[in-house]
Structure 1
């Protein structure tokens, strides 16, 4: 019985930690939405460091497995990651411009395919697919019309929105999890 009480308390604390982590992510997302330029630069620098560190780890892993048939493939992939990381860290603004252009083109092509597909197929979700396609097309056009200036804030907005919604999701999971634990726990084992 004491073990069950301890397990319930541990589980409840774990869900509380999810709520705290979610709140931190929400705060980061809101701050990023206020300072979109800083969020864009931060995301580019983080991306560059992740590429660089991943390349170094990949190179060390390739050296460790140097007698493998895939040694040279591992070295080449690691070298490309390191080179890309260096380029991103040295030119974060140019990287942001390139990735913004890529995102705009993805929105345009995705929106166009959804629009055409919804009109041609006319399936049960015709209206939603048509709206999704129009929204993607419009978003791509809006980003491209203001490019390269849009590259200063677009990626920061996307990064910040991702943080915000991930944080809200963690808060919801944490609160819901604590409620489930308190409903399932026996009355004498319920956490205070």
Structure 2
């Protein structure tokens, strides 16, 4: 029983170690992307295009398998749109990055205006924090639009690299935290096993010599 617990704890420990190692790789990739934002933008757009293309192909395969149902043509149309969008993004990643940058800037502007107006109208307990976030979103949207389309060369790459960086930090924290918890649980189980086996050894009768 104790050996099985130790093996399971060792597997969990190795799993959390691999999780932390993956987090380190993501953090390094995020830092490199923040230094080379142009390359990160191009890489993220190509990755996005291939994901659309593969997703469209898989969706088309599912639609073909579901032919004869009411959702056949809808699945075919959605899959065809994904494939077409993936081809366009792969062939023109710069134009796709410019369009996504414009869309992101409009989202920041809209979110900033809603937060500013909402914080001024409601004036709830988080008034100052909501007002600050709204002003930040509005300023970010204005800055991106003011430098568009040149801003499209680094905005998407910067966001992509920051996402990798924070995801990597989260994985590192989860990996090290999980390893620590597994270590504490293993020590406690080992102590319980020693305490359980100790009285048995103490009250055991000596075996007479032959």
Q: Give the distance between the partners of 1:177 and 1:139, measured in 2 at CA.
A: 37
- Alpha-carbon offset, residue 69 of structure 1: 1.4
What is the match of residue 126 of structure 1?
A: 127
What TM-score do you get using the length of structure 2 for normalisation?
Answer: 0.88
Answer whether contact 1:115 1:130 (CA < 8 A) is retained. yes
Corresponding residue SS for 2:181: helix
Stretches of 4+ moved more than 2 A in 1?
A: 186-190
- Counterparts of 1:1-80 in structure 2, within 5 Å, are 1-80=2-81
1:95 equivalenced with 2:96 (yes/no): yes
- Counterparts of 1:159-170 in structure 2, within 5 Å, are 159-170=160-171
Rg comparison, structure with higher value: 2
**C-alpha RMSD of the superposition:** 1.2
**Structure 1 residues not aligned, in runs of 5+:** none
Q: Give the distance between the partners of 1:23 and 1:13, measured in 2 at CA.
A: 15
Answer whether contact 1:29 1:164 (CA < 8 A) is retained. yes
1:108 equivalenced with 2:109 (yes/no): yes
Could you report, residue by residue, the CA deviation over 1:118-162 in whole angstroms, capped at 9, with x for unpaired residues? Answer: 011000000000000000000001111100000000000000000
Corresponding residue SS for 1:186: helix
User: Which shifted more, 119-128 or 180-189?
Assistant: 180-189
Q: Give the distance between the partners of 2:49 and 2:103, measured in 1 at CA.
A: 17
What TM-score do you get using the length of structure 1 for normalisation?
Answer: 0.97
What is the match of residue 159 of structure 2?
A: 158
- Alpha-carbon offset, residue 186 of structure 1: 3.2
Answer whether contact 1:8 1:189 (CA < 8 A) is retained. no
Aligned length in residues: 190
- Alpha-carbon offset, residue 184 of structure 1: 1.4
- Alpha-carbon offset, residue 188 of structure 1: 7.1
**Structure 2 residues not aligned, in runs of 5+:** 192-210
Q: Give the distance between the partners of 1:126 and 1:73, measured in 2 at CA.
A: 45
- Alpha-carbon offset, residue 187 of structure 1: 5.2
What is the match of residue 178 of structure 1?
A: 179
